[in-house]
Amino acid sequence: MEGEQMFQSGPQPALPPQQPQQPPQQQQLQPRYQQPTEPMNALQPSAAALTSMEQSIHKSIRVAQEVADEVRLNAKKEAELIVQEAEKNADRIINEALQKARAVHSELLDLKQKATVYRARFRTLVQSHLDILENSDWESLEELESNLEETGKQLEQYADRTQTPELLMDHQQTQEFRNQEYHNQEYHNQEYRNMEDPNMIDEVAASYMEEEDEPRRELRRTSRKLKKKAMF
């Protein structure tokens, strides 16, 4: 019996899987969530739009890179110009400083030379004053002054007294000697005027007079210098 049942049954066709039965509430909600997705697909961009966006982005990146390179190159050039200008200014400032230093050095050397010359002259002047102070002419000057004072007093005494015949004779002889000397000088001057070169005559006469009066002048100058130095 069992074999007959197995023979009669044979290979039976496969039955489709039975779906589990859903509760009625889920069956009602399912159509609402199973709506078509066509609007969402319409919102997604196409491949051509994406390609154009990609190209525009690459182009923007390329332009930005070129601008950045240009800005970098301009900045580099400007930096080089600033450095060159700074080097030029530095060279100019250094040259001006060197020139000023040389001028100051030359002025310092000149001042040193002038100071040396001034010290030598001042030393010579002081030494000459010391020599004058240590000179023995002061004693002769004092004797000369005393003699002059005595002579002045004697002259005053003679002037107060009555003139004697001897004094008158001395005065007449002195007057005659002066007249004779004056005539001799006039004669010599007349001879000099007859010469060819009047300028030379004047020079010779002047030198003759200067040579004659030179000792007196030298004595006067020496006495004056000594008096002035004695005042200091």
> For the segment 102-160, what is each residue's pLDDT rounded down to a tens digit?
999 999 999 999 999 999 999 998 888 888 777 766 666 667 677 777 777 767 776 66
Residues contacting residue 201 through CB under 8 Å, at least 6 positions apart: 192, 193, 195
Domain ranges within the chain, ordered by starting residue: 51-116, 137-231
Output the pLDDT for position 27: 52
Output the pLDDT for position 7: 43
Least confident span in 63-77, 95-109, 181-195: 181-195
Higher pLDDT, 99 or 128: 99
Q: What is the SS3 assignment for 22?
A: coil
Report whether pLDDT(10) > 50. Answer: no
> CA-to-CA distance for 214 and 224, rounded, in angstroms?
15
Least confident span in 43-57, 58-72, 173-187: 173-187
Residues contacting residue 137 through CB under 8 Å, at least 6 positions apart: 222, 226
Output the pLDDT for position 172: 57
> CA-to-CA distance for 3 and 21, rounded, in angstroms?
36
The pTM is what?
0.31
Is 204:125 a contact under the CB 8 Å cutoff?
A: no
> CA-to-CA distance for 115 and 119, rounded, in angstroms?
6
Output the pLDDT for position 120: 92
